[in-house]
A and B are shown apart, each in its own frame.
Chain A
Amino acid sequence: MPLKSFKLISSVASRERSWPYFAFVFLRTFFGGLLLVYVAVFLSDPFDSGRSPISLTRGVFDHDARFSNASNARDPAFDSAIFGNSHGQALEPNRLSQLTGHHFLQLTVPGTGPLEQLTLLRWFLRHHKEPASAVFVVDDWWCESDLPIQVRYSFPFWLYDGWFEYLPRLLSPYAMDRAARRIGLTVGLYSRSDPANFDDYESGKTWAFHPGNTIGDQSAPVTSPTVKFAFPAVELLRKALAGRPALPVVIIMPPIYRTAIPRPGSVWNERVNACQVAFANLAEERRHGIYLDFRLDDDITRDPNNFMDSTHYRSNVARFLEGRIAEGLRRAAIR
């Protein structure tokens, strides 16, 4: 056999032999690397949700409340929480703590509706066997009757759910990012985000609210007085709180600028009125429950200086509400 042909055959044979090693290197690197990174992310407990056997430092470096609440809501330094969305975000937990003697943290998340807020309530209750109080800042989204209840923006329900939902999500860019932050926090590269989770969105900004035309429901008055409204979100709240009958609860419907209030007699106004009755009944049923309604046509809601926009009140109103909430909790406690 000529030498050239022999070399050719030898080279092909050697290449054929090396393909198994090529595939082996690929599979070993891929699955080995995957396992290594996954285990590291899991052990770092990227969201400080208490699922890792290794205990790194407490808390997270994270300004996204959707994720950071998994850590904050477990913090034993707090025994009370505020639930809601941006309509409850201006309430300052430290002030509420001073006024009530409880230890409040903010668990509000902007853009969330009832399902997200109830998820956070369940998570908070799961990690606090004896909570001191809970405050719910409810809005129109709680008064919708359509099923399924809407989730308007992305929310990590899996983070507050079981292992089966949680574990696959660790294979993600945000879990890796949070794992790196947790490690950075542990070695002192970062400092912990405010565990009470208060974000003063008024701070450092100039707000100028110019109320325009009316924007609430201005449709003709409801002609049929027999309209029955259903409030599935209120029922879900009732169920979520049923296991803690002694927990003092304050439910408030915060003020909105008067032009955003639906016209009396309009469908939406009737719905919100019925919804308020449903909340009032829920509070009344509880051993220590109070419902506070601030959606009124009064001095607060007639002054544009009290608002950043038609549905977000400013800090001066927040201070007023904090006082009323504290007073409500005192009243609820002696009921």
Chain B
Amino acid sequence: MLFQSQFFILIFLPLATFAYYAASGSTSVRQTVLIAASLFFYGWWDIRFIPLLVGQIGITWLLALLAARTNKKFFLFAGIFVNLMSLGTFKYFDFIIKTLETVSGVTLPHSNFVLPIGISFFSFQLISYLMDRLRNDAPIYPFRPFALFVMFFPHLIAGPIVRHNELIPQFAVDPRGPGLWHRISVGLILFTLGFAKKVLLGDVLAGTVNQVFADASTRALDFGEAWTGALGFSFQLFLDFSAYTEMAIGIALLFGLVLPENFRRPYLASDLSDFWRRWHISLSRFMRDYLYIPLGGSRAGWFRYVVAAMITMGLCGLWHGAGWKFVVWGLWHGVGLIVCRVWQSMMRPMPGILSWGITMLFVLAGWVLFRSADIGTATSVLGSLAGLRGIGGSLQEIPLFATAAAVSVLVPSAHEIKESVLRPQPLVAAIAAVVALICIFRVGKEELIPFIYFQF
């Protein structure tokens, strides 16, 4: 079930919200309502995925409990192993087999498993809990709130990646308490903002971008086409993913629950480190806390720093997709972060506009890798972008790109809207409602375009 579908907006969400508030007097009933809604939401895609989700949650919780009762960390490691194995089997098995085939030249059997939607997200949340247990930084929660923490439907499919201690304590709070209408109002506005970004801009960009990258798979692009594709995808990815996040945060607020922020106007970043503090913040935070810092981070000498940065970013790339292009994309950012750090520690600061320009060009080149069908195609597109095939052709869709750029840098982030920007002005509410109305009719066409991050 897609957030932007009419069924979700007009049937599922109102019913789930109504049932939740009808049950709000009892913590356990309230949580049960959300669990039931989340299972229905997840099973809508493919009911076969439910046993995997419930199984991973149940095994993780049981192993954590067992570790606590026996005081043996082995069970926590076993839990991490189980989650990694599940992720590895469903997401990476065929990738490993294909790589082995390429290296050995031998044909091997493939699993051809269907990728359970959201597996990268819920597996990471379960692993983070087990790692926090290893650090004695997490309690044993009752099963119901623990299960809800993982499967709460607004963040289940594509984040934000939430830590247990951010969400589980909120489940105990009566949503009818102070600030109820403020949260609901902000939730409605954030949902509408994401809805409009997805439907009115992201999906429109998708048509142009898909065409350019489909062409890139069959022939060399000219300069104008390459820039059209690269810029178009840069805007599309941000608008699509931030739209999902805003809708997720908005829906959670309707239930009185606060999800962490995920974007902070990343295309205003002044350098690459700043970019990663603004882009997919919940993933960056996860990578920092559970990989980069345990690997030594930046305080154990330059060698350890380089190794930590490259491993962290390489795995960050691999997390996105089972393919070498994603690994190369991650390593590209790893190299960029290292160069950025070296420059900042040894040279004088760059003028802001120059630093911003270099950062955006670097990020844009990375997005070409991210979007292209394979590394060969990406190399070809990057060659065209750099003008190696001349500077023919022209940039297409300029008004659309200008609008997308303006929205990307000018529209405040979900966090800014929630904390400071939004005021209770009825005119704003009415305008937002009309925008939502336009969008709800717009999505009444035959096929909806899923969010890009659903494939991860």
Contacts and interface: CB of A to CB of B under 8 A. Distances in A.
Contacts of A37: 437, 441
Interface stretch (B181-189, B256-264, B281-289): B181-189
Interface string B410-450: 00000000000001111011101110110011101110000
Interface stretch (A27-35, A134-142, A193-201): A27-35
A22 B436 contact: no
Interface residues of A, number: 26
B184 A23 contact: yes
* Interface of chain A: mostly helix, strand, loop or mixed: helix
Nearest to B178: A16
Given A22-B181, A29-B434, A169 B426 contact: no
Given A16-B179, A18-B424, A29 B445 contact: no
Contacts of B436: 30
Interface in B140-165: none
Interface in B200-239: none
A69 B82 CA distance: 57
Interface residues of B, number: 28
Interface in A1-37: 15-16, 18-23, 25-30, 33-34, 37
Contacts of A169: 444
A175 B444 contact: yes
Contacts of B441: 37, 171-173, 176
A33 B433 CA distance: 9
B6 interface: yes
B446 A22 contact: no
A206 interface: no
A174 interface: yes
Given A168-B6, A173-B444, A176-B441, A22 B424 contact: yes
B433 A30 contact: yes
Contacts of A28: 433
Contacts, number: 75
B422 to A, nearest CB: 9
Contacts of B434: 29, 33
A154 interface: yes
Nearest to A18: B424
Contact of A19 (B6, B181, B430, B446): B181
Contacts of A30: 433, 436-437
Interface in A25-78: 25-30, 33-34, 37
B331 to A, nearest CB: 42
Nearest to B431: A29
A175 to B, nearest CB: 7
**7 smallest A-B Cβ distances: which pairs?**
A172-B444, A29-B433, A19-B181, A25-B429, A30-B433, A18-B424, A26-B429
28 contacts: A15-B423, A16-B179, A16-B182, A18-B424, A19-B181, A21-B424, A22-B181, A22-B425, A22-B426, A23-B184, A25-B426, A26-B429, A26-B432, A26-B433, A29-B430, A29-B434, A30-B436, A33-B434, A33-B437, A154-B446, A171-B441, A172-B441, A172-B444, A172-B445, A173-B441, A173-B442, A174-B444, A175-B444
Given A21-B426, A171-B440, A172-B441, 11 more contacts: A16-B181, A19-B182, A22-B425, A23-B429, A25-B426, A26-B189, A26-B433, A28-B433, A34-B10, A168-B6, A175-B444
